[in-house]
Structure 1
Amino acid sequence: MNALAHPNTMNTALRVRGLSKQFEGAPTPVWSNVSFDVPRGQRVAIVGGNGAGKSTLLRCCMRLVEPDSGSVEFAGQSVTGLGLRPLAKARAQVGFVFQKHNLVSRLSVLTNVLHGAMAYSRTPRLWFHSIATREHRDYAMHCLEQVHLGHLSGRCAGELSGGQSQRVAIARVLMQKPKMIFADEPVASLDPQAGEDVMQVFSELVRSQNLTLVFVTHHLDHALHYADRVLGLRDSKLHLDAVSQQLSVQQLRGMYE
């Protein structure tokens, strides 16, 4: 067995066992009995056709959508059955990046990044960069520099391009100081070059900050180039779990037939 596809349990960031989900009124489950482990520092892509349940799986892992059965452990802690407060504390350790960047367009880039710290601090001084502490402002600038946008800190978020907006959203996640990042089709709304830039930023961050990345994508070349491992959903089950270097685009296309 390959160590990447089957990690040592002592080094596991995310453990999923027997996860199943069926929406009310649907004749069949989205998927059932899904199990996999993700080791710390790994980049994992989730692929599959429309309706395969890729985004649902990502959300079920942190109970943004409640699974019907199964268990999930994050950083050695079970998140299954946690109450609202401890669940919120667990989620604060995971950064979420979605297709929609959800920036406040009238506020500065720096202020938008500062908002990421609200995951662990409720001080109103995080609402605007002009009243934030120097420590928070400096760290927000550091996060912007990590995504190569420090020079745009004072610009209004509404003036950014799509690729720049997504990188600011990533910087906001870094402000959260996460252990893991979940990204749901993070480049779906971007042009090809901007998409490559964003995926390259993700890849650099995983290596430089020892983050774990799980991302949903329809870009098969991204799954092969920017992931260490690929999970594929098909026919209501986890159909594929393999190291990306052992796969080809042609093999991944089989997940869509």
Structure 2
Amino acid sequence: MSVSINHPGEGVALRVHGLSKCFAGATHPVWSDVSFDIPQGQRVAIIGGNGAGKSTLLRCCMRLIEPDTGEVYFGNHNISGLRGQALSRVRSRVGFIFQKHNLVNRLSVLTNVLHGGMAWARTPRMWFQGIAACEHREYALHCLEQVKLAHLSKQLAGELSGGQSQRVAIARALMQKPDMIFADEPVASLDPQAGEDVMQVFSNLAHTQSLTLVFVTHHLEHAVRYADRVLGLQNFGLSLDAASHSLSASQLRGMYD
């Protein structure tokens, strides 16, 4: 799929234009000529079978993996040619949540959340609970309140359950004060109830804070329940782009045929 205009319009949070990726030694691309616009505040699920390139697409949008062709815009900023600090500044507008939460188990929950502010910290001293400035600690607690874990702020991260750990990772991402949140299979390792709790947190935050949310999932029910729109990768390209409420069960299952 492709689009004819080359610059995002007003209200577009993310534009992907003509993106392609083929890994060295592969006989075919992961996907090619992928294009879409995501308006500010929209919740978007990316689905597809194993090996369809869902996580690769999310990482190419952040340029954690370099695409072979195409352009990516965050708002009006074309990040495709950015390097170094310029790229880091734009990336700081996006909270990225991985399947593995990557918390520091020996540090407190609050300190882990404070680490989310490293992109705009003037000094490393603010990264730690005991010596961070009062306003930074208060904002970190506010982020924990958003995920309903402020009461665990002094607990060691290593003592948390899987669902609690992922909610702390969300709070850490909120500490960046992001415009967008990217989440790569954020509930894949959680039990069903913990997964529902985490997805509900994502949905509420996107709604109350007007955050743009893009998440990769293999749970089709999550794509329908928690996304406004579903993008589907299949046959080396973008084969589905539709409002979640308009999709039938057979259409969704067909993405895995």
Deviations 1:195-253, CA, capped at 9 Å, x for gaps: 00000000000011110000000000000000000000000010000000101232111
Number of the residue aligned with 1:238? 238
- Cα RMSD of the aligned pairs, angstroms, is 0.9
Task: Tell me how far 1:10 sits from its aligned partner.
Answer: 1.2
Task: Tell me how far 1:54 sits from its aligned partner.
Answer: 0.3
Number of the residue aligned with 2:88? 88
* 1:138 pairs with 2:138: yes
Number of the residue aligned with 2:119? 119
> Amino acid of the residue matched to residue 153 of structure 1?
S
Deviations 1:87-144, CA, capped at 9 Å, x for gaps: 1111000000011010000110000000000021141222320100000000000000
- For structure 1, the residue ranges without an aligned partner over 5 or more in a row are 1-7
Query: Hey, what's the Cα distance between the residues in 2 that align with 1:248 and 1:110?
Result: 42
Query: Hey, what's the Cα distance between the residues in 1 that align with 2:19 and 2:124?
Result: 39
- For structure 2, the residue ranges without an aligned partner over 5 or more in a row are 1-7
Number of the residue aligned with 1:154? 154
Answer with 95-104 or 242-251: which moved more.
242-251
TM-score calculated relative to the size of structure 2: 0.96
Number of the residue aligned with 2:196? 196
Contact 1:224–1:248 under 8 Å retained in 2 = no
Number of the residue aligned with 1:78? 78
Contact 1:19–1:34 under 8 Å retained in 2 = yes
Query: Hey, what's the Cα distance between the residues in 1 that align with 2:106 and 2:93?
Result: 28
Contact 2:118–2:124 under 8 Å retained in 1 = no
Contact 1:47–1:218 under 8 Å retained in 2 = yes
Query: Hey, what's the Cα distance between the residues in 2 that align with 1:95 and 1:127?
Result: 17
Percent identity of the aligned residues? 72
Q: What SS does the aligned partner of 2:238 have? A: strand
Aligned counterparts, 1:1-257, within 5 A: 9-257=9-257
Deviations 1:32-56, CA, capped at 9 Å, x for gaps: 0000000000000000000000000
Q: What SS does the aligned partner of 1:183 have? A: strand
Query: Hey, what's the Cα distance between the residues in 2 that align with 1:149 and 1:196?
Result: 16
Query: Hey, what's the Cα distance between the residues in 1 that align with 2:133 and 2:37?
Result: 39
Contact 1:221–1:249 under 8 Å retained in 2 = no
Query: Hey, what's the Cα distance between the residues in 1 that align with 2:168 and 2:154?
Result: 12
Answer with 79-88 or 175-184: which moved more.
79-88
Contact 2:114–2:172 under 8 Å retained in 1 = yes
Q: How many pairs align?
A: 250
Query: Hey, what's the Cα distance between the residues in 2 that align with 1:126 and 1:223?
Result: 37
Query: Hey, what's the Cα distance between the residues in 2 that align with 1:148 and 1:24?
Result: 44
Query: Hey, what's the Cα distance between the residues in 2 that align with 1:28 and 1:161?
Result: 40
Contact 2:117–2:127 under 8 Å retained in 1 = no
